[in-house]
Structure 1
């Protein structure tokens, strides 16, 4: 808050959607996510269809999109904790819009190359690191702690809805306009996101600097907070594994669907959109499932129950057989979204506000830093052994993802400990058969 300004209490019983600023945050997320999902389909197809890139170059492109989490992930958190979050998100959106707009402009001029795609992917990746760290740190500024689970559930609903609509829209635009021109939708989405964020009026003061601290000390404080908490460590390991194999999927799915299954761009979009329905269902159910089974239990249960459906990916075939790919992705995405709502809400409630940026950035570095590695592995496997074999290795990896959770204290907990509680203290042992109320 701004010094000297009175704090207006917000009733705990009110849902997050009743807050105007949170609705604007949701609108910005919807615009940005929809454009990003169009690019999820269109950008690899630019490489595959327009530049005739081999599988290894498609893997490198996916790696370039996420390399920023390794390159600037840790210092980004320290910088974010020194800055106001909202203006930083707006600037990041503008940078991403300009970078994406350069692709269709270069294509129209006939000078588009893979080198430019790599550069755009790196620039937008760096901007996304700052945007995402600031965004996750800004949500607790808008919402009270008891509204974080429904608030994050609403954000995941928006993201999953974009995953449903975006790929179909992207595939249709690629079919109609060509892959490079379809990326205009992403640039427009980021600009709309910046405009919605501009309308947020929640007062936000610049964080106070602690005298005598350096960037290295700030980064170290974030690392100590994460590595010093046993539950955060196991969440980082689990999510890092899941992201590694998710990146393997992202690097190979376009090559598999186009060159192995022979699908047209519009059908590729529909397959990816159909698979995202599971993510939307997960976002809508996450709060109820956490209340029913417990926030700790649903973290490991969601990964354990849905991971085996990844085995459907390499079994997909031509024609109607492509539905196996969509079904497998839909169930896996359902579990991933339920998992994310539970663990992100826990992280936000646990961490002191002054450390939110560093905590989120440290975890993003650990969890998202595996993305470029997974993408490179996927591209290399697809180049050497074929896309179907790469997907088989990816699916096998999803069977391993729940193991760190099952070997951790989370396996014995129903609910996650409150901030300040001992990590090894017994969690709430409410009878799981008893219906719980949804907050």
Structure 2
């Protein structure tokens, strides 16, 4: 292994460890909380849609100003604070469950407030990585972090499904809180010099609105980036609609046990791990621009197998589809996130990430409501078919963009605009 590898970068290893703890805790909670709502609190499809909406509503409420604030503040303390806030909120769920006072309203409030803290963490996190490892190693850094996410996507839901059966859903959520606390501990051990967190230029006359507008202009002036944002937003809109009804469909319509549901939802991580491990080689071979549109077109259709899930071999068929789709999602994310980070000046990284996330994550609460409404009106199976088809349709934005005429992306936004 080359000494240039990020394996030998001590502060990146600490960030990597923090991300590992956070991701594992998050994916345990992402399965345990819906199971808690569905099984313990007898949530309706519309209430499950509200839960999905609450999870990402923060990106619509504070997504844009959060980018400005992150560009003004040191980014590591922002992440530390967000982790501690999320830990305190999430740990209130098992406490309420153990004392017999847990309600759907409590669950919705915790998920909403945790989502607000996640806005700050995610914007700061993507803005921090280029300064920590350097832009030349962004592809390697993002690939390693995506490998963690994909591994957590396998182990988290599987562990959550088994733990829910053993100790109950409320107790299982306790693991999410521990994950956030461990993440904060690892972030606190990062010893990067202050130059690793470049401070923005400040003047007394700075106003919020012009700085938000600058970030939005940067994102939407770039045609390939505009197509990437539209693709991701469409996929997230329908992905959230699928999430709103998926657990109910798998437990009530497909008749799967909580452990089987956890195992099936983990299948997407299998493809994700494989993609993250070999993403650098695949993207270099296929081309970064071509990877963004071609690979989703080839493997995202795997999601269409999920509505066919049922006992026996149909569970395996749906799991294969999720694994194929997960493979494509991770390759797409590594390619497009690395591109976004590479072309953006340091002083705009927070605002660029916030502007992108305002759109692509802001679509998710709307998708959660859409899934709840579709589930109530069309039934769980019909709602899931529409949601999975909509996710695949999102790829058309990048297929019909200037990216289709390019193999690789220039190193700057100006170069991309010239080639487009």
TM range (shorter): over 0.9
Instruction: Look up the match of 1:297.
Output: 290
Counting only pairs closer than 5 Å after superposition, residues 325-404 of structure 1 correspond to structure 2 as: 325-404=318-397
CA–CA separation in structure 1 for the residues paired with 2:258 and 2:389 = 27
Identify which of 178, 184, 190 aligns with 1:200. Answer: 190
| Pair 1:273-2:266 in alignment | yes
Return the offset for 1:399: 3.0
CA–CA separation in structure 1 for the residues paired with 2:247 and 2:203 = 48
Identify which of 83, 93, 96 aligns with 1:93. Answer: 83
Q: Given the two structures, how large is their TM-score scaled by the length of structure 2?
A: 0.96
Counting only pairs closer than 5 Å after superposition, residues 24-423 of structure 1 correspond to structure 2 as: 24-204=14-194, 206-423=199-416
CA–CA separation in structure 1 for the residues paired with 2:383 and 2:351 = 35
Return the offset for 1:141: 0.9
* 1:154-207 C-alpha deviation (Å, 9 max, x unpaired): 000001010011111111111111011100000000000000000001023543
CA–CA separation in structure 2 for the residues paired with 1:426 and 1:410 = 10
Q: Given the two structures, how large is their TM-score scaled by the length of structure 1?
A: 0.92
CA–CA separation in structure 2 for the residues paired with 1:226 and 1:339 = 18
Instruction: Look up the match of 2:10.
Output: 20
Describe the SS at the equivalent of 1:112.
coil
Structure 1 residues 158, 240: closer, same or farther in 2, change over 3 A? same
CA–CA separation in structure 2 for the residues paired with 1:299 and 1:398 = 15
Instruction: Look up the match of 1:6.
Output: none
Return the offset for 1:325: 2.0
CA–CA separation in structure 1 for the residues paired with 2:305 and 2:32 = 24
RMSD between aligned alpha carbons? 1.4
> Given that residues 84 and 207 in structure 1 are in contact (C-alpha distance below 8 angstroms), is that contact kept between their aligned partners in structure 2?
no
Deviates more, 1:173-182 or 1:302-311: 302-311
Describe the SS at the equivalent of 2:298.
helix
> Given that residues 245 and 371 in structure 2 are in contact (C-alpha distance below 8 angstroms), is that contact kept between their aligned partners in structure 1?
yes
> Given that residues 295 and 331 in structure 2 are in contact (C-alpha distance below 8 angstroms), is that contact kept between their aligned partners in structure 1?
yes
> Given that residues 133 and 141 in structure 2 are in contact (C-alpha distance below 8 angstroms), is that contact kept between their aligned partners in structure 1?
yes
Describe the SS at the equivalent of 1:52.
coil
Deviates more, 1:248-257 or 1:338-347: 248-257
> Given that residues 409 and 424 in structure 1 are in contact (C-alpha distance below 8 angstroms), is that contact kept between their aligned partners in structure 2?
no
CA–CA separation in structure 2 for the residues paired with 1:324 and 1:380 = 27
Return the offset for 1:308: 1.7
Unpaired stretches in structure 2, ≥5 consecutive residues: none
Deviates more, 1:230-239 or 1:123-132: 230-239
CA–CA separation in structure 2 for the residues paired with 1:372 and 1:86 = 27
